[in-house]
Amino acid sequence: MTEPSPAIVVRGLRKVYGNKAAVDGVNLTVPRGCFFGFLGPNGAGKSTTIRMLTGLVPPTSGEIELLGLRMPGQETEIKQRIGLVPDESLLFDRLTGAEFLEFVGRMYGLDRAVARDRGRALLDVFKLNENRKLIAEYSKGMRKRLAMAAALIHHPDLFLMDEPFEGVDAVGARLMKDILLDQVRRGATIFLTSHVLEVVERLCDRVAIIQEGRIVTEGALADLRGGAESLEEVFVRVVGAEREFAKLDWL
């Protein structure tokens, strides 16, 4: 029996803006069924990498394969099989949550009745069905929950998530974590960025750390921690941020 291709394969990926490489020669392989954390300081290249993986930003050079499909060339097939939660919620503010989810389901080719039923079920799961608010009235946490519901509606094989828990309260975050872990158990792959290292440590089985556009370490979380170290300690050591802060006399 042939082994399935990795969920994500990236070779020599670069994105240059002007004279600066935001992503500079990234090589990365993410196996299927993996909960993968993609970490780095602000401005390290995390969001740019995800935007290239989703086809929102074309790479300057390099190769991308998702679920065995090449980009560019097979973008339509790829987009039908991935779920996206972007850093900035790309939602239609003048729709209700139900209308938006039905629209997303239809965009993924679902029958109208199926899209409507799945949308209602997801609104119930994410506790967004109390009223018919327009999305413009949603809080940031509600928008994140709706974006995750939209990512789930077509039952994708791969999730690309940029700071999915940002602005979400503890109850909502717990619900989202449980849903994501259930998706991994059923064989899906999750690739996420997060600045909350405790969340990554609790959820992810593999981690890569990017700094100044380059991967500086990658591997199984247990191997990177090497025993007693926390993920935060590994992160600070790897990115070279262990120096003490300059104390201010007046502070």
Average pLDDT taken over every residue of the chain: 90
- Helix 140-152, helix 112-125: angle, nearest 10: 140
73 pLDDT band, cuts 50/70/90, is confident
pLDDT for 208 equals 95
How high is the pLDDT of residue 111? 96
How big is the CA angle at 51 (ends 57 and 241), to the nearest 5 degrees?
120
pLDDT of amino acid 63: 95
Strand order across the beta sheet in which 8-17 lies: 20-30, 8-17, 61-66, 69-71
Position 75 scores a pLDDT of: 87
Residues 6+ apart with CB under 8 A from 119: 97, 98, 101, 102, 104, 105, 149, 153
Q: How far is 45 from 57, CA to CA, in rounded Å?
A: 13
Tell me, what's the pLDDT at 37? Answer: 95
Q: Which range (142-146, 223-227, 229-233) has the least confidence?
A: 223-227
pLDDT in the model for residue 238: 86
User: 99-146, pLDDT tens digit by residue?
Assistant: 999 999 999 999 999 999 999 999 999 988 766 789 999 988 899 999
User: Which residues, in sequence order, are bridge partners of residue 209?
Assistant: 39, 217
Residue 236, pLDDT above cutoff 90: no
Close Cβ partners of 137 (under 8 Å, ≥ 6 residues apart): none
Give the pLDDT confidence score for residue 244 in this predicted structure: 61
**CA–CA distance, 30 with 4 (Å, rounded to integer):** 12
Tell me the average pLDDT across 79-84.
Answer: 92
> 188 or 196: whose pLDDT is higher?
188
The confidence score (pLDDT) of residue 55 equals 87
pLDDT exceeds 60 at position 87 = yes
Question: Tell me, what's the pLDDT at 2?
Answer: 63
- Whether 243 has a pLDDT exceeding 80, the answer reads no
